Amino acid sequence: MLENYLPVLMQMLMAAGFAGVTLLASVLAGKSAKRNKMKDSAYECGMLPLGEAQPRFSVKFYIVAMLFVLFDIEVVFMYPWAVIFKDYVAVFGAAIFWWMLSFVGILLVAFLYAWRKKALDWSS
Amino acid sequence: MVTLNHYLLVSGLLFSIGLVGVVVRRNILTIYMCLEMMLSAANLTLVAFSRFRLVEGLPDYNAQALVFFTITVAAAEVAVGLAIIVALFRARQSVDITAVEKLKG
Amino acid sequence: MSPLSLELGLGLLGLVLLLVESFASVPRKLIAYAAIGGLLAALAVIVSGAAGSVPDSLKEFYVVDPLALFYKGFAIIATLATIILSLEYAPIIHQFVATHPERTKEAGLGEFYSLPLFVCVGMMVMASAVDLITIFVALELVTVSFYVLVAFMRRSAASLEAGVKYLILGALSTGLLVYGMSWLYGMTGELSLSGVAYKLAHWEGNSAPILFAVGLMLAGLAFKVGAVPFHIWIPDVYQGAPTPVTAFLSVGSKAAGFVVLTRIVGTFLTPGSVVAGPVIQILLILGGATILLGNLAAIAQTNFKRLLGYSSIAHAGYLLVALACIHTGGLKMTSGEVAAFYLATYLPMTFVCFLILSAMRAKGYGEDIASLKGLGRANPTLGLALAIALASLAGLPLTAGFMGKFFVIFATVLEGYYTYLAIAVIGAATGFFYYFKVILAVYSKPDGPSEGPTPDLGLLSKVSLAVFVAAILVVGVYPDLIRFALVK
């Protein structure tokens, strides 16, 4: 009975581990030790008011939105795959895993391309 | 009781609104939204038909597979479309349909 | 070896080439050569007959019949010709894509050479698709890639405008098609074409919803192939798009539309189908109107690309009429095969025209018919090739174009559609008028006092030009060359 909850426990451990590792990595790799004026100021709600009330959005937002839509929507294929995974892994074995991984590989190519073309580079 | 006909009516309305919008609207972004609405109408029709066609007590999921593909294709179309519209805006400073009337004859 | 692995291989090649484009700083020509190499290998597999069959579990989605193999080969040849044409057109692409054309050398060319591969994959899958989902996904792969290609020259107002128009009307046709598909599914409960055909043949009750679905789907596909009254985008998009893309659109996209149309119309016209009568009527009326309007509107054109656009509309009309003639036993071909034959003759003549147009454009000439003046004297080889291609487009006997039209007209006679026979003949006669106007321009004196630079082609383009002209002439006297490939 209790071992049915093992996957849940594993997922919780993985989630906690991922969050911990990310936080740790940002402390180690980032420049969190450096102090500056902004960091030392008292935190208040929201941003300091800057610029006009109705600014025209930079075209960069569109690019990020487009990339988000593209990568986000692919989950639609992973969800049904995950639902039938257990039934089909008995029939096809590990192959069903590699099929989805090849699909993710195509997404990876798209991601690498977007990265190299500086689509993710906010400052350029 | 909501029946199949109700769903079909709503999806038909959605489709018609989209089609009319494509024809009468002048802002390209609005036209694009109307086009997406037409695809959503098709999706709603598919899901409704699938829900009301029971195979061994379960909905017929084949049509819902088509819905997934339609959603993805619509997303790809949006991405490419927005990119083209943004490029057009950079060139013409306008997204009005009258900005694309140079080619004729 | 499964034919599906050809599509997978070419798709993979496209992805690898995109990565090469973004990571490596190799000369962009190498990307084009890699694409050409991959396509030639795929063509060799198909021609040699090594492309086997698919497992039975896939038969409901994906078939490998002679028609599918034929269209796969067709897609590969069209893509090959497009990439060769792009090599010719590269300086102009670069000029209109690069932010600082004088500082960079080859900006944007890598994508321009690799995107046609994805179009090719889409067309190859479509050739085999016999399931609404597969058809839809393949068709959209082609269409979305074409959106990018048409609007590729982002610093050219004309290219962007063509892109927006193609985008809106393409998305509209997708909407119509999917909505039609959803109703077809709702009425029959089937997504595979064989299942739909069975249900249509055994239909009892009200056929109005089915007709609604069929009409929407036919309207969506009529957009894709450019049939009247859904043709309005064609002239503008053809004129504004980069020339290699225009050529690819007029051959590849059209063939893609027609292979889907062949499969879907074949389903609708299955023996005993409830919608057979109306579908034939729709096809004939669309086809007749398309022939007339395409040919009549072409007469007034002064821009050569636009003229070819209207000519492509007119050719779509003949193809639609061919699809409606289902009793073609006298020709030993099915209606789908008559259309495939017509498309196969249409490919070489169109590409010859666009190759020469690219060569002129690269040397700074305009795209008007008037700027062709003096070509016959400046470069007699190119002039002669263009004249042959135009004569074939018009349907002069002893050229491939004549055989294509001959089969269509013969099919209308076999069916007894004498009205459409008359329309086809009137259309062909009008065609002679405007195509020969262009030939006349090629062989007349240039307007200016001094002659401009001589247009010329690279080696690859010369080879393909020679192959295409030879194909036009050989098929003109020996049509069985293509017929054997079709009717194995």
Closest CA to C245 of C439, C138, C111, C337: C111
What tokens were used for B83?
């990119």
Q: How far apart are the first and last CA of chain A?
A: 56
Q: How far apart are CA C133 and CA B68, in angstroms?
A: 10
What tokens were used for B46?
């598919």
Closest CA to A71 of A121, A37, A114, A9: A114
Q: Given CB atoms, is B24 within the 8 Å cutoff of chain A?
A: no
With CB atoms and an 8 Å threshold, state whether A66 touches B71.
no
What's the pLDDT tens digit per position in B22-43?
A: 999 888 889 999 999 999 999 9
- The pLDDT assigned to C247 comes to 95
Q: Given CB atoms, is A59 within the 8 Å cutoff of chain B?
A: yes
Owning domain of residue A97? 58-124
What tokens were used for C69?
């193999």
Owning domain of residue B56? 4-100
**Is 60 exceeded by the pLDDT of residue B105?**
no
- The pLDDT assigned to A106 comes to 92
Residue A99 is assigned to a structural domain of this protein: yes
- H/E element, B55: strand B54-55
| Intervals of chain C under pLDDT 70 | 1, 448-452, 488
Optimal mutation site among C13, C18, C145, interface A, most CBs of chain A within 10 A: C18
Shortest CA distance from C111: residue in chain A: A113
Q: Given CB atoms, is C140 within the 8 Å cutoff of chain B?
A: yes
- The pLDDT assigned to C449 comes to 57
Residues in C touching B62 (Cβ below 8 Å): 191
Residue B105 is assigned to a structural domain of this protein: no
Q: Given CB atoms, is A91 within the 8 Å cutoff of chain C?
A: no
Closest CA to C84 of C123, C35, C47: C35
Indicate the SS3 state at residue C99.
Answer: coil
What tokens were used for C73?
């080969």
Residues facing residue B54 across a β-bridge: B59
What tokens were used for B62?
């084949």
Q: Which runs of consecutive H residues, i.e. helices, occur in chain A?
A: 6-29, 37-40, 59-73, 75-92, 95-116
Q: Given CB atoms, is A74 within the 8 Å cutoff of chain B?
A: yes
Q: How far apart are CA C152 and CA C131, in angstroms?
A: 32
Q: Which residues contact B75 (CB under 8 A, 6 or more apart)?
A: A69, A70, A72, A73
- The pLDDT assigned to C33 comes to 94
Q: Given CB atoms, is C132 within the 8 Å cutoff of chain B?
A: yes
* Residues B3-18, mean pLDDT to the nearest whole number: 93
- The pLDDT assigned to C140 comes to 94
Averaged confidence pLDDT in chain A: 81
Closest CA to C309 of C123, C103, C88, C150: C150
Residues in B touching A76 (Cβ below 8 Å): 68, 71-72
**Is 90 exceeded by the pLDDT of residue B91?**
no
Kindly report the backbone phi and psi dihedral angles of residue A42, in degrees, each rounded to the nearest multiple of 5, phi listed first: -65, 140
What's the pLDDT tens digit per position in A50-102?
A: 666 666 667 778 788 888 888 888 888 998 899 888 888 888 888 899 999 99
- CA distances to B25, B70, C146, C314, C468 from C141, rounded to whole Å, are 28, 12, 9, 26, 28
Tally of structural domains, chain B? 1
Optimal mutation site among A60, A69, A111, interface B, most CBs of chain B within 10 A: A69
Q: How far apart are the first and last CA of chain B?
A: 55
What tokens were used for C59?
């038969």
**Is 80 exceeded by the pLDDT of residue A32?**
no
Tally of structural domains, chain A? 1
CATH assignment of the domain containing B72: 1.10.287.3510
ipTM of the complex: 0.94
What tokens were used for C260?
């889907």
What's the pLDDT tens digit per position in C429-461?
A: 999 989 999 999 888 887 765 566 778 888 899
The interaxial angle of helices B62-92 and C132-150, nearest 10 deg, is: 10
Q: How far apart are CA C252 and CA B104, in angstroms?
A: 24
What tokens were used for A81?
């795959």
- CA distances to A31, A34, C414 from A27, rounded to whole Å, are 7, 11, 81
On the 0-12 / 13-18 / 19+ scale of CB atoms within 10 A, A86 is: exposed
Q: How far apart are CA C151 and CA C133, in angstroms?
A: 27
Residue A101 is assigned to a structural domain of this protein: yes
- CA distances to B93, C25, C246 from C157, rounded to whole Å, are 12, 29, 16
Q: How far apart are CA A28 and CA A8, in angstroms?
A: 30
Q: How far apart are CA A42 and CA C199, in angstroms?
A: 72
With CB atoms and an 8 Å threshold, state whether C18 touches A116.
no
With CB atoms and an 8 Å threshold, state whether C18 touches A109.
yes
Closest CA to C460 of C153, C150, C29: C29
Q: How far apart are CA C365 and CA A80, in angstroms?
A: 55
* Residues A36-49, mean pLDDT to the nearest whole number: 65
Q: How far apart are CA C346 and CA C471, in angstroms?
A: 11
For chain C, domain boundaries: 278-488
What tokens were used for B85?
């519209």
Question: For residue A50, what is the DSSP state?
Answer: -
Task: Provide the shortest C-alpha distance from residue A110 to chain B (in Å).
Answer: 13
The CA-based angle C130-C131-C132, given to 5 degrees, is: 130
DSSP B66-94: HHHHHHHHHHHHHHHHHHHHHHHHHHHS-
| B79 vs A69, A74, A77: nearest CB | A69
Is C437 within 8 Å of C425 (Cβ atoms)? Answer: no
What tokens were used for C343?
């498309």
- The pLDDT assigned to C313 comes to 94
The CA-based angle B70-B75-B76, given to 5 degrees, is: 100
Q: How far apart are CA C159 and CA C111, in angstroms?
A: 16
Shortest CA distance from A111: residue in chain C: C19
Is C155 within 8 Å of C97 (Cβ atoms)? Answer: yes
Residues in B touching C181 (Cβ below 8 Å): 42, 66
| Amino acid residing at A15 | A
Residues in C touching B70 (Cβ below 8 Å): 136, 178
Q: How far apart are CA C148 and CA C122, in angstroms?
A: 15
Q: State the pLDDT confidence band at A46, using cuts at 50, 70 and 90.
A: low
Q: How far apart are CA C178 and CA C333, in angstroms?
A: 31
- The pLDDT assigned to B31 comes to 92
